[in-house]
Amino acid sequence: MLNQVAEGVLVHESEFIQSNAVVVRGWAGVLLIDPGITVDEMADLAHDLRELGEPVVAGFSTHPDWDHLLWHSYFGDAPRYGTARCAASIREVLTHADWKDQVAEGLPPEYADDIPMEQLGLITGLPDGATEVPWDGPTVRILEHRAHAPGHAALLIEDSRVLVAGDMLSDILMPFLDLQAEHPLEDYLAALDLFDSVVNEADAIIPGHGSVGGDGQLRARIDLDRAYVQALRDGRDPEDPRVGPSAPLEWLGDIHEWQAQRIAEMRAEGGTPE
């Protein structure tokens, strides 16, 4: 079911880690951002859009993780976009003959048979440095950074004052670093600084996974994510409700321990994870 979070902006929440598909109403249809997980969910979303009389005129993937690259024929053949680096990242994966097997290794087994793979990652990379999504609707500003994944982008829907954060600023997931990057900690802190620059332009925050945040939540979530990353940088245990005994998902503690261990190993190997 679609829920309105601001004028012209609606969200469909998946059962899978509270994944959020975002709909932005335009002049002749909608922009569909990170559109969902299972076939049934996509069918429900397409049905809701038909009920509203809103065709999909454009799509956008915030970053090249499988759960943000899905699509279905229910949504038609509208152009689908991502940043240049995002598109290049998934394009490299798709060059491998066994790409479906590679992606399948990361799928949640309880949903794997219901996830449509046929149109995964068929996105067009926007020109390097593009600052807006090209579509017939309100200005959607692209805030590209290097945290979490190559070519990650948050989107600021200017008129509605909504920030779509991709896999950051979640109330249920702590920061997941891109540990393949040369400077994962520095990249993440730089992205949070970028979000700092638009705090006064957004009244609502939509994370890729988790609850929509209202007034004041953007600043609180930036501060919480920054404290977590700084704790990793300093080799301290973070005081973060998303890890430890109170974590909303039991496996998050394992992910945190793995991240902390990997940062320590990078330092021991002479790397510069900062």
User: pLDDT for 63-114, tens place per residue?
Assistant: 999 999 999 999 999 999 999 999 999 999 889 889 888 888 888 888 778 8
Least confident of 163-177, 179-193, 232-246: 232-246
pLDDT digits (tens, 9 = 90+) for 20-48: 999 999 999 999 999 989 999 999 999 99
pLDDT at 272: 61
Looking at domain 2-268, its CATH superfamily turns out to be: Ribonuclease Z/Hydroxyacylglutathione hydrolase-like (3.60.15.10)
Apex 145 CA angle, 72 and 160, nearest 5: 65
Quick check: 274 pLDDT over 80? no
Mean pLDDT value across the chain: 93
Q: Where are the domains of the chain?
A: 2-268
Phi–psi pair at 2, nearest 5 degrees: -85, 135
188 — pLDDT class (breaks 50, 70, 90): very high
In the predicted model, what is the mean pLDDT of residues 120-126?
A: 93
Is the pLDDT reported for residue 271 higher than 70?
Answer: no
| Of the candidates 120, 156, 149, the residue with the CA atom closest to the CA atom of residue 31 | 156
The torsion angles phi and psi of 60, rounded to 5 degrees, stand at -150, 135
By the 8 A CB rule, do 156 and 79 touch? no
Strand ordering across the sheet containing 80-82: 2-6, 9-13, 20-25, 30-33, 56-60, 80-82, 124-125
| Tens of pLDDT, residues 160-180 | 999 999 999 999 999 999 999
Residue 226 vs residues 149, 157, 177, 187, 230: alpha-carbon distances, Å: 17, 23, 12, 12, 6
Count CB atoms within 10 A of the CB of residue 16: 18
Give 158's pLDDT tier (boundaries 50, 70, 90).
very high
Interatomic CA distance for residues 82 and 160, integer angstroms: 21
Order across the sheet with 162-166: list the strands: 140-145, 152-157, 162-166, 204-207
Q: Is the pTM of this model over 0.85?
A: yes
So what's the pLDDT on residue 103? Answer: 85
Top-confidence residue, 244 or 6? 6
Return the pLDDT at 163.
Answer: 98
131: which 2 tokens?
């600052």
